[in-house]
Amino acid sequence: MMLLLIIVIIILYLYTTRNHNYWAKRGVKHERPIPFFGNHLPNILLQRDNTDLGLQMYNAYENEKIVGYYIGNIPQLIIRDPEIIKHMLNIDFNSFSERGLNLNPKKESLLNNLFFVSGDNWRRMRNIFSGAFTSVKLKAVFPLIVKCTDKLVKKTTMRHVSDEIKTYELMTGYTMEFIASCGFGVDVDTISESNMHFVDVARSFFDKTSLQTFMINLDEICSILKIIPGTFEVNSEFNSFILNITKKVLAERNFKPSERNDFVDHLLQMVYWNGNEKLTTEADLESDSWFVAAQVFLFLVAGFETSAVATSVVLHQLAYNQNLQDEVRKEIDSALKKYDNKLCYEAVCEMSLLDMTLKESLRIQPPAGFIRRRCIKEYKIPGTNIAIDPGVKILIPIKALNHDPKYFDCPSEFRPQRFSPEAEQNIPKFVYMPFGSGPRTCPGARLASLQSMAGLASLLHHFVVEPTPNTSRHYKIKRSAFLVQIIEGGIPLYFKPRTNK
């Protein structure tokens, strides 16, 4: 019996370490892996997330362009060099077109969208999205943004001046209100506390429990979720809501673009119509409803938590820097004065300091702290003699790059002037990438910035933002979050009505 146990242990050891010489054979520096887990045990135990991993490896190997890592037996390469990043995300995109997530869009209908799919499906969807966020489309959709900012200001005004407001909760309500209006074509009034349940259900896709995150990290090693499903799946309540509301909106519009000029109208034009010619038969409507619902779901996941994080960080930083807040507010007042004190597309486009402040927020706290890719064919890393095989994962440490003093002087300081037109030209390409880069860059980046700036402009035009006794100068990020970074504690702030507006 003892001999059998020893044999089993030896077999397990050999099997779970069979690939642990991968980086040594290629002369790539790496930490020593352990059986079964590789280097991934701290992630599984929630002692760090992938953003923390990127920071640790980036700072530990400051003289290396690439650093080796093992997720169990799967080799992963952490990229420190912007030139190599440029090749992987852009020039040699076809070798790294997959995101490297253990998600199956074929099993999850709502994941059958631009972010999660690959290959020909991705190219088809990219063509559909390409015309959705032009300047003409953004200007047309701006009245919907204004309605959301009006609700945001009204909601904030209703609070007593001495009440602290959880800024992150406030801004998630605003971003969801905007997404529902512009993406879903409906009004769900998520800024109202009575409807925050909808936000909570939507957030469940990102805000996982510790057990769920443990399972997700373990799945990267042994694909355990194929045996024990239920972790990745979209919340069933939210799944049903998105599909039902999509069907309802499509039916109300008779499967034709309306005058609302929202994202659903764009999808209707691209999926159902070519000019005045109908592309879809009645028999295809059910499957196409799922397709539209999946794209609407992407609109949600791409803009919900990410915009809420960015705007919350701006308000948090301005609360501790009243001089900068005064300068930003002065610019906002000046721009609005040109347009009869009414928020409009043209006014927001003139708010250059606010734009720089938002960009600095995205640098200091990128909503997604890393980019993941999977190598899909043999590839030689530029400037080296190192070749990697299909299946090797790639991690690009966005936050680490953004906090490297080689690229940003005193990187922990909040300095919007880094993104003045003159200074921004000196930032190396493929270092600052809040929306990704290359063909898989976020197509809705300009819309996300526009709605974030509109919300910030409305709040700062009406309120002075200050810390409360419960505000921490350094907020915490949840390690159990999935794909994006979620702020713990909500960032409590005072929003005091202006007396000299």
Binding region: 442
> Quick one: CA torsion of 379, 381, 386, 387, rounded to 10 degrees?
0
Among 129, 175, 136, which Cα is nearest to 443's? 129
Q: Which two tokens stand for residue 60?
A: 């530990």
Alpha-helical regions (H) of 17-40: 22-25
Coil, helix or strand at residue 181: helix
Annotated binding site for heme: 442
Among 450, 117, 64, which Cα is nearest to 297's? 117
The H or E element containing residue 157 is: helix 135-157
Residue length, the chain?
501
Long-range Cβ contacts of 30-35 (<8 Å, 24+ apart): 30/67, 30/68, 30/69, 30/70, 31/69, 33/70
User: Where do we find the tokens 């399972």?
Assistant: 215
Count of C-beta atoms within a 10 Å radius of residue 211: 11
Cβ-contact 188, 180 below 8 angstroms: yes
Cβ-contact 178, 453 below 8 angstroms: no
Which residues on adjacent β-strands are paired with residue 380?
Answer: 387
Q: Which two tokens stand for residue 229?
A: 């499903």
**178 phi and psi angles, rounded to 5 deg:** -65, -45
Q: What amino acid is encoded at 180 in this protein?
A: A
Q: In whole angstroms, how far apart are CA 318 and each of 24, 300, 466?
A: 48, 27, 8
| Distance in angstroms (rounded) separating the CA atoms of residues 245 and 239 | 10
Coil, helix or strand at residue 467: strand
Contacts of 18 (CB under 8 A, 6+ apart): 73
Cβ-contact 358, 414 below 8 angstroms: no
Count of C-beta atoms within a 10 Å radius of residue 34: 14
Contacts of 407 (CB under 8 A, 6+ apart): 401, 427, 428, 431, 432
Q: Which two tokens stand for residue 421?
A: 């037109």
Contacts of 46 (CB under 8 A, 6+ apart): 210, 213, 214, 217, 479, 480
Q: In whole angstroms, how far apart are CA 154 and each of 172, 353, 462?
A: 16, 25, 10
Coil, helix or strand at residue 388: strand
